[in-house]
Amino acid sequence: MTIREIVTHPNEILRRKAHRVEKFDKELQTLIDDMIETMRAEPGVGLAAPQVAVPLRLIVVEYGEEEQDVSPKLYVMANPEITRASVETEKGVEGCLSIPGYVGEVERAVEIVVRGQNRFGKPMKVKAKGWLARIFQHEIDHLNGVLFIDRTDKVWKVEEETQAVQVSKAE
């Protein structure tokens, strides 16, 4: 496994719509493993393939509720689509590994259902709420060339000592 370089704004790959994953081959498995290692090394809670300069519809998410004494759950999803989103929304502070040092307040659906394929191409569905739903929406935005700064009018630079806490919560 290799830690890959994270592409940062304003690199134009972050603004392009990513391509469907068609082949679930050894090359894709290597990419997935590298993305997981890269996400954990940063540290982040989500990463989309375009963030490591690969224009594929592929995300990795690892998150667990802090109150629960359980290890975070890892999700790998190819070709994710939000098939249902709650009418109820809430604002939350998000950061992004591709926009280091900045955060913004973004309004997102509180609950969503995401359908896609697992790392081997088998269909999968995730029902997510709260921060997990926020992370999935953020990562799926990356696959459509959308960044959190496009969804907010309030972005600010994070102080060095609080950056690790806020960014690790929001991405």
Distance CA 23, CA 86 (A): 32
How many independent structural domains does the chain possess? 1
Write down the pTM of the prediction: 0.90
What was the pLDDT predicted at 50? 98
Average pLDDT over the chain reads 92
Asked, for residue 3, whether it belongs to a domain, the answer is no
Here the tokens at position 135 are 């992370």
Asked, for residue 152, whether it belongs to a domain, the answer is yes
Q: Which of 74, 71, 170, 102 is nearest to 130 (CA)?
A: 170
- Residue 165, pLDDT > 70, answer no
What was the pLDDT predicted at 68? 61
Confidence category of residue 69, pLDDT binned at 50, 70, 90 = low
Asked, for residue 44, whether it belongs to a domain, the answer is yes
Asked, for residue 1, whether it belongs to a domain, the answer is no
Asked, for residue 148, whether it belongs to a domain, the answer is yes
pLDDT, tens digit, 9 for 90 and up, residues 10-64: 999 999 999 999 999 999 999 999 999 999 999 999 999 999 999 999 999 999 8
Question: Which CATH number is 40's domain given?
Answer: 3.90.45.10
What was the pLDDT predicted at 1? 82
What was the pLDDT predicted at 161? 45
What was the pLDDT predicted at 67? 61
DSSP class of 16: S
What was the pLDDT predicted at 126? 98
What was the pLDDT predicted at 159? 80
The answer to whether residue 88 is catalytic is no
- Strands (DSSP E) found in 30-139: 46-48, 58-63, 73-85, 89-95, 102-109, 111-117, 123-129
pLDDT, tens digit, 9 for 90 and up, residues 88-113: 999 999 999 999 999 999 999 999 99
Asked, for residue 4, whether it belongs to a domain, the answer is no
- Residue 169, pLDDT > 60, answer no
Distance CA 108, CA 8 (A): 23
Domain membership of residue 102 as a residue range: 12-170
Asked, for residue 6, whether it belongs to a domain, the answer is no
- Residue 77, pLDDT > 70, answer yes
Asked, for residue 24, whether it belongs to a domain, the answer is yes
Candidates 139, 159, 160, 161; catalytic one: 139
